[in-house]
Copies of this chain bind each other. A is one copy, B any other.
Amino acid sequence: MANSIYRASVLQSQLLFRPSLSNKHSVPKKSNLLCIASSQLNPIRSEVSFCIGTHLIPHPNKVDRGGEDAFFVSNINGGVIAVADGVSGWAERNVDPSLFSKELMANASSLVGDLEQVNYDPRILIRKAHAATSSTGSATAIVAMLERNGTMKVASVGDCGLRVIRKGQIIFSTTPQEHYFECPYQLSSELIGQTYLDAVVSSVELVEGDIIVMGSDGLFDNVFDGEIVSTVARHSDVVEAAKALANLASNHSMDSRFESPYSLEARSKGFDVPFWKKILGMKLTGGKLDDITVIVGQVVTSPAAASLNQVQMTGKMEEAGSGDTRGLL
C-alpha cells in the first residue's frame, strides 16, 4: 500500500519547496565550474559528461605522506573517476600502506588513456591495474566510467562508495563488502586477497543534473546519506561541494560525541564502551579518524564530442590537501 495519490497540487508544492539540483546545476558556468570534457568543440547533442570536483583530507597523523588514499579522474569518454584506500594494517609490518593504493591508481590512470584496451569496463580496468601493481600492500578500490549516452558503469572491491543524487534524493548506492567489521574486501599484493572477480559490478542510467558522490570510507563512515544530500544541495559548484563534504566528514571524525555511521555500525556489531560505562548510560559514539577522499561529479549535457585531449589528474601526484580537475566545457 502506498497511501497518497500524487496530485497536481503536490507537484506545485514540490516545485516550490524541493531543492532542485538539476535547475541549479544544469548550466555550468565556465568561470567557476571545473569540468572535464573535450576542448575540441563538436556539438553533438544529448551526449553527457562529468563536471568534477575533488577534495582529499589526510588522516591528521598521516599528513606528511598525504595519507593512504589515492584517486584519479579523467575526461576520457564521459569521464572516469576512481578512489583507492590503502589498508593501514600494513604499517604494522613496516610497509607504507600508501604505496599500494597510489601505485594502483597510477596504473589505472595510465590504462584509461586507451579505454579500448580495458573494453570500457571498470572491472577490466581493476584487473589490469591490479596486475600491474608491484608494491606490497592492499587497498579497497572503486571505479566509475560514464559513457556518453549516460550509462555509468561501476566496479567496487571493498568499502569505498558511490551515491547518485537526483532531484534531492539518492537513487543509487553501492554497498560495502567486508569479511568482518573493519576488514573490507581488498585488492592485495598477496595471493589471499580479493581480485577483480570479487568486484561488485553494476551500472545506472544517468541524466543531466544527476550528482555523483564517490569517496573512501572516510566519507561514508562519518557522514550520513541525508547529510550528503543536504550538503550537495547547498553548493552549486562541484568543487565547493566536494570540499564541504570532506570538511564535514573531517569535523565529524574528530567529534567524539557525534553518533556517526561508523559508531552506529560498531554498536550494531557488538562493539561498545565497557560494561561499567554502559550502566552509567554511556555508549560508543564518535566519528572515525581517517583519510577522507571525496569526488563530486555532475552530469552535464556536453556540447563536445568524445575527447581527444585528456584532462587527467592522479591523487598520488598531488600534495596532501585538496585537488581540482581543471578543464573547460
Q: What is the interface of chain A, defined by CB distance below 8 A to chain B?
A: 1-8, 10-11, 14, 59, 68, 85-90, 97, 123, 138-140, 158-159, 166, 169-173, 175, 177-180, 182-186, 188, 192-194, 200-205, 217-218, 226, 268, 289-291
The 10 closest A-B pairs by CB, nearest first: A4-B183, A201-B205, A5-B89, A202-B204, A1-B88, A3-B182, A1-B290, A171-B200, A2-B87, A2-B184
A7→B177 contact, CB < 8 A: no
> What B residues does A10 contact at CB under 8 A?
179-180, 183
Known contacts A200-B172, A201-B205; decide if A5 and B177 are in contact (CB<8 Å).
no
**Contacts beyond the supplied A1-B218, A5-B188, A166-B200: 14 A-B pairs with Cβ under 8 Å:** A2-B182, A2-B183, A3-B182, A4-B87, A5-B90, A8-B192, A14-B179, A170-B175, A171-B200, A173-B173, A200-B205, A202-B202, A202-B204, A203-B204
Of chain B, the residue at the smallest CB distance from A221 is: B1
A2→B169 contact, CB < 8 A: no
A158→B202 contact, CB < 8 A: no
A178→B169 contact, CB < 8 A: yes
Q: How far is the CA of A305 from the CA of B214 in the complex (A)?
A: 39
What are 27 A-B contacts with C-beta separation under 8 Å? A1-B86, A1-B87, A1-B218, A1-B290, A2-B85, A2-B140, A2-B159, A2-B184, A2-B186, A2-B217, A4-B179, A5-B90, A5-B186, A7-B192, A8-B192, A10-B180, A169-B177, A171-B200, A172-B175, A172-B200, A201-B204, A201-B205, A202-B202, A202-B204, A203-B203, A203-B204, A226-B268
A59→B204 contact, CB < 8 A: no
The listed residue (B139, B166, B175, B218) touching A173 by CB distance below 8 A is B175
Q: How far is the CA of A169 from the CA of B178 in the complex (A)?
A: 8
Of chain B, the residue at the smallest CB distance from A69 is: B1
> What B residues does A169 contact at CB under 8 A?
175, 177-178
> What B residues does A85 contact at CB under 8 A?
1-2
> What B residues does A89 contact at CB under 8 A?
2-5
A6→B186 contact, CB < 8 A: yes
B193→A6 contact, CB < 8 A: yes
> What B residues does A68 contact at CB under 8 A?
1
Most chain B Cβ neighbours within 10 Å, of A87, A97, A201: A201
Of chain B, the residue at the smallest CB distance from A4 is: B183
Q: How far is the CA of A231 from the CA of B126 in the complex (A)?
A: 33
B188→A6 contact, CB < 8 A: yes
Q: How far is the CA of A325 from the CA of B103 in the complex (A)?
A: 50
> What B residues does A171 contact at CB under 8 A?
175, 177, 200
The listed residue (B1, B97, B186) touching A59 by CB distance below 8 A is B1
> What B residues does A192 contact at CB under 8 A?
6-8, 11
Q: Distance (Å) between the CB of A284 and the closest chain B CB?
A: 16
> What B residues does A218 contact at CB under 8 A?
1
> What B residues does A6 contact at CB under 8 A?
138, 179, 183, 185-186, 188, 192-194
Q: How far is the CA of A326 from the CA of B67 in the complex (A)?
A: 55
Q: How far is the CA of A72 from the CA of B63 in the complex (A)?
A: 55
